Structure 1
Amino acid sequence: MARKNTLMKSIQANGYPIHFNENAYEALNKHLAENKYSAIFIFADSDTNEHCLPLFLPNLETDLNIEIVEFEPGESNKNIETCIELWNVLTELGADRKSLIINVGGGVVTDMGGFVASTFKRGIDFINVPTTLLAMVDASVGGKNGIDLGNLKNQIGVINVPQMVLIDTHYLATLPQNEMRSGLAEMLKHGLIFDKRYWSLFLDLNNLNTDDLDTLIYQSVEIKNTIVMQDPKENGIRKSLNFGHTLGHAIEGYFLENENKTTLLHGEAIAAGMILESYISLKRNLISEEEYEEIKTGIDAIFERIVFEEKDLQPILELLVHDKKNEYGTIQFALLDGIGNIKTGQIIDNELIVDSFLEYNS
């Protein structure tokens, strides 16, 4: 598909810049020229090594020694075992305090790569190059780096910002359809919690071209950045980003550990979480029946429904107890307060949570 050369202005996030498309490599090479790094270590999973590094490496202008460190793809490898392997590889290859890690890949690569960089020798510089739609609009903003503890998502981690984030939407051409859809979930969420007009753009995706997508990605990053800049440590408004994630993460974790279930992509689980939590918002009189129907219809047009059996509900409820957003032993929800607004710190009883699954299945 033809693409106009849309120059998108860099966005200043909390302590680092986010550069787009052609600007990105110019900024990266300038950074490499100005900082006396000892070596560059590129972290990539086997998928991004094959599909994305051939696009990335020709744009890199440096005389520094470059080592490519590859690991297995997927959420099931985002754990401390992989981190230990990566710390060992860095040590064996002679990485020091002046080394730079560049994470090229989806959210698993940037989450874990940022965590490894933040903890190796008490912290070395890293740059993130998100290559999936999900990582561009979600993992790129906010400085959250972390790994899973068993099936509990992102339980171990730090908030630490990269030197810069480079978003080049040309990488999206390497993505399968289901990965593209997965990223749309976070974009839908940004509209639902913050900007009704932005949400409404997704109600008809049929006429979307690549330039429109570039603009939607840019706006999504702007929305998330606006929220994070107000609340970097997640003490207040940043909790609004958890909409759809309280139940979504529990669903994702349950399907990840259960061998009788097909592992879900993050966005697939979050799409279900948003429908469930919209129903809870409806039952708490925070949104109207019309708004609930609009949300359901909008999400259903993009995502297939997940099949929940009765025996799935109890284990999913048990996973909620470990949600890292909980405080003082209570499960905290971020619920919609009309489309485009959010109410955080909402405590919901199990009965209503079970009702939301029954409604989802009906």
Structure 2
Amino acid sequence: MQSITTSSYSVHFNDLAYKALNQHLDKSGYSTLFILVDENTFDHCLPGFMAQIEGDYHFEVIEIEPGEVHKNIETCTQVWGALSELEADRKSVLVNLGGGVVTDLGGFVASTFKRGIDFINVPTTLLSMVDASVGGKTGVDLGPLKNQIGVINQPVMVLIVTEFLNTLEERQLHSGFAEMLKHGLIRDKGYWSALKSLNNFDLIDEFIHDSVVIKNQVVLQDPTEQNLRKTLNFGHTLGHAIESYFLASESHETLLHGEAIAAGMILEAYLSQQLTGLSQTELDEIKGTFAKRYPKVDFSEDDIFNILGLLKFDKKNSHGNINFVLLESIGEAVLDIRIPQDLYFPAFAYYKE
């Protein structure tokens, strides 16, 4: 697959990824290569990755615990401490080998250590390949609140090696697939239709490339999320609130990001039908598509009240207003929509039907 050029770096795929990495390392003159992994990627991805690196370099591996619950400033402090103890300097590079937690957190750590060192992202989950690979968003959660602390800073390069997907459970693949479906909903009805008919993940490589192209087109036009880039947040206003609530709850099983966003997209599609012209036919099509792939989340009335209470923390908010991205139709998104309070519970009722 052809490499994709962003505003300041390239996304390379499979064999071209390792070729680009080795060429870069050969000419970079890095003092030390630090590789950030979690327990899963240490076991399943690191050996294969290391086997592809040519040349004699000074390596250090830093391991963190897996999962969204560890995407916080405390983990950052541990990684900063490890970098310092291992004598990292400003000519070091941090290679983030893992899913979205590793790439988001690792990018933030690198961006702030000694006021910034180079980092390279090697996403190993479908979600991180299609979502975190482009845009330069780095950061961590504040308690259960998603991505409240961070900076936009670009990696040196991103390497997408799709064989890493073989290490994932199907549930993780479906989580990433939700973000791909979102790309179709906000930008490309034909892409949405093609993804809808995909019955397994054997042919996913080209679709990953297409999703990265779509996201890159958006980010190139609006790198700092002033307007168009907000469309990438469709389903995320309610979806992030759902994810945060279930992450903090002791009585509910934690949801994967894509599972929460899938629910958020159904809810926000309902709001779109009520407010911005999405047809009933397309609303039902969206709900049916997600219902086939994602188990229904059970929301009690108390759950809904608590989820709605978290909306005030959404990053798109301004001047005390909660701003939604909604759809005019499949493939056409509209920004900064305010939701009447009396529509939230009907949206959840539609989701439950």
Identify the TM-score tier after normalising by the shorter chain: over 0.9
- Alpha-carbon distance, 1:62 to partner: 2.8
Distance 1:87 1:336, change over 3 A: same
Q: Which residue of 2 aligns with 1:132?
A: 125
Structure 2 counterpart of 1:347, one-letter code: R
For each residue in 1:271-320, what CA deviation from the matched residue of structure 2 results, as whole angstroms up to 9, or x when unmatched?
00000000000011421010001111111111111110111011111110
Between the two proteins, the alignment pairs up a number of residues equal to 353
Q: Which residue of 2 aligns with 1:94?
A: 87
Local SS of the residue matching 2:129: helix
| Residues 218-227 or 277-286, more deviating | 277-286
Q: Which residue of 1 aligns with 2:3?
A: 10
1:74 and 2:87 correspond: no
Q: Which residue of 1 aligns with 2:223?
A: 232
What stretches of structure 1 of length at least 5 have no aligned partner? 1-7
- Alpha-carbon distance, 1:131 to partner: 0.3
Q: Which residue of 1 aligns with 2:352?
A: 361
Aligned residue runs from structure 1 range 206-217, under 5 A: 206=199, 208=200, 210=202, 212-217=203-208
1:343 and 2:334 correspond: yes
Looking at structure 1, the residues matched to 134 and 201 of structure 2 have their Cα atoms a distance apart, in angstroms, of: 24
Once the two structures are aligned, what percentage of the paired residues are identical? 57
For each residue in 1:33-89, what CA deviation from the matched residue of structure 2 results, as whole angstroms up to 9, or x when unmatched?
111100000000000101111211101113111011001000000000000011000
Looking at structure 2, the residues matched to 323 and 259 of structure 1 have their Cα atoms a distance apart, in angstroms, of: 22
Q: Which residue of 2 aligns with 1:3?
A: none
Q: Which residue of 2 aligns with 1:300?
A: 291
1:150 and 2:150 correspond: no
- Alpha-carbon distance, 1:241 to partner: 0.4
Looking at structure 2, the residues matched to 356 and 77 of structure 1 have their Cα atoms a distance apart, in angstroms, of: 32
Q: Which residue of 2 aligns with 1:222?
A: 213
1:31 and 2:56 correspond: no
Residue pair 2:276, 2:327 contacting (<8 A) in 1 also: no
Q: TM-score, normalised by structure 1?
A: 0.96
What stretches of structure 2 of length at least 5 have no aligned partner? none
Q: Which residue of 1 aligns with 2:54?
A: 61
Residue pair 1:37, 1:100 contacting (<8 A) in 2 also: yes
Q: Which residue of 1 aligns with 2:163?
A: 170
Structure 2 counterpart of 1:132, one-letter code: T
Local SS of the residue matching 2:313: coil
Looking at structure 1, the residues matched to 320 and 276 of structure 2 have their Cα atoms a distance apart, in angstroms, of: 25
Local SS of the residue matching 1:238: helix
Looking at structure 1, the residues matched to 226 and 29 of structure 2 have their Cα atoms a distance apart, in angstroms, of: 36
Q: Which residue of 1 aligns with 2:33?
A: 40
Looking at structure 1, the residues matched to 322 and 344 of structure 2 have their Cα atoms a distance apart, in angstroms, of: 11
Looking at structure 1, the residues matched to 277 and 215 of structure 2 have their Cα atoms a distance apart, in angstroms, of: 22
Q: Which residue of 2 aligns with 1:282?
A: 273
Picking from 215, 232, 245, the partner of 1:241 is: 232
Picking from 167, 170, 175, the partner of 1:182 is: 175
Looking at structure 2, the residues matched to 238 and 219 of structure 1 have their Cα atoms a distance apart, in angstroms, of: 17
Looking at structure 1, the residues matched to 276 and 173 of structure 2 have their Cα atoms a distance apart, in angstroms, of: 33
Looking at structure 1, the residues matched to 139 and 255 of structure 2 have their Cα atoms a distance apart, in angstroms, of: 19
Picking from 295, 302, 317, the partner of 1:311 is: 302
1:265 and 2:248 correspond: no
Looking at structure 2, the residues matched to 14 and 268 of structure 1 have their Cα atoms a distance apart, in angstroms, of: 31
Residue pair 1:14, 1:142 contacting (<8 A) in 2 also: no
- Alpha-carbon distance, 1:220 to partner: 0.5
Local SS of the residue matching 1:85: helix
Looking at structure 2, the residues matched to 96 and 169 of structure 1 have their Cα atoms a distance apart, in angstroms, of: 32
For each residue in 1:312-336, what CA deviation from the matched residue of structure 2 results, as whole angstroms up to 9, or x when unmatched?
0111111100111101110000001
- Alpha-carbon distance, 1:209 to partner: 5.9
Residue pair 2:276, 2:326 contacting (<8 A) in 1 also: no
Looking at structure 2, the residues matched to 13 and 353 of structure 1 have their Cα atoms a distance apart, in angstroms, of: 38
